[in-house]
Amino acid sequence: MSLRIPFFGLLGNRSPMEGLVEHYDKIAECIAAIDDSLECYVSGGMCREFEELTKAVDEIENHADSIKRNIRNHLPKGLFMAVEKHLFLSYTKSQDNILDAAQDALHWLAMRPVLIPEEIQKGMIYLLDSVAKCTVLLGPALKSTIALTNGESLDREGTKECYRKVRRERDEVRRQKNDLQKKIYQMDIDFKDIYQLIHFVDCLDNMGHNTENCAELLRSMIAR
């Protein structure tokens, strides 16, 4: 039996939750661009492709901002919502923060060319892979939450497991970030290089942190 609860029905043809999924899809585009950028950067510092990829991330983030504004600007006053409105708005902010951190990450790399020591190249790529996995896991968590609050699914436990998967991968991101920063600080390289690389790693970690925040807000939406 399917229990359907009206969520954003008063909005007419388009639900704000559909906009959140559209906004989330931009995160995957950002991750792909950062992945290509880091590969380009590691292989020889700044290059023409790196500059083009940085601009691509800026364009993706700008597009995501317009989606976020559209979601917020079209929430009718007095709308009945199956979740608290402040949770919905907080979620949009946290999801947007993931993209902001991705944009900041590339801007830190673009400050000046840095020769990334071979000893930490794999660590940086593995960290980015883990961040990507964490954000990918947020997609099923978001869609499962929408299905549950719309009454299209009754799988509450399966939805909670989606949140737990995000949290576990976030722990892995934190572990890799700590190990990588320790290695960077211990390297015999210019302090400006250390500062720049540490901030890049921090931005990747912020992506994981905000992804976890998103999962926690989704959990709050279905809490009884």
Q: Mind listing the pLDDT tens digit for each residue in 71-121? A: 888 775 655 666 788 898 899 999 999 999 999 998 998 888 888 899 999
- Rounded to an integer, what distance in angstroms lies between the CA atom of residue 50 and that of residue 65? 23
178 part of a folded domain: yes
Domain annotation covers residue 11: no
Residue 174 located in a structural domain: yes
What angle do helix axes 85-110 and 16-42 make, rounded to 10 degrees?
20
Is residue 9 assigned to a domain? no
**pLDDT value of position 79:** 56
Q: Between 48-73 and 85-110, two packed helices, what is the crossing angle to 10 degrees?
A: 160
pLDDT tens for each residue of 71-80: 888 775 655 6
On whether the CB atoms of residues 56 and 33 are closer than 8 A, the answer is yes
* Domain region containing 151: 16-222
Domain count, the chain: 1
Check if the beta carbon of residue 157 is closer than 8 Å to that of residue 206: no
Query: What is the CATH classification number for the domain harbouring 81?
Result: 1.20.58.220
Is there a domain that residue 90 lies in?
yes
Q: pLDDT tens, 144-178?
A: 999 998 888 889 999 999 999 999 999 999 999 99
* Distance in angstroms (rounded) separating the CA atoms of residues 108 and 101: 10
8 pLDDT band, cuts 50/70/90, is: very low
Question: Does residue 7 form part of some domain?
Answer: no
Is residue 98 assigned to a domain? yes
Binning the chain into helix, strand and coil, the percentages to the nearest 5 are 80, 0, 20
C-alpha distance from residue 36 to each of 15, 29, 41, 133, 138 (Å) = 33, 11, 9, 16, 22
Residue 124 domain-assigned (yes or no): yes
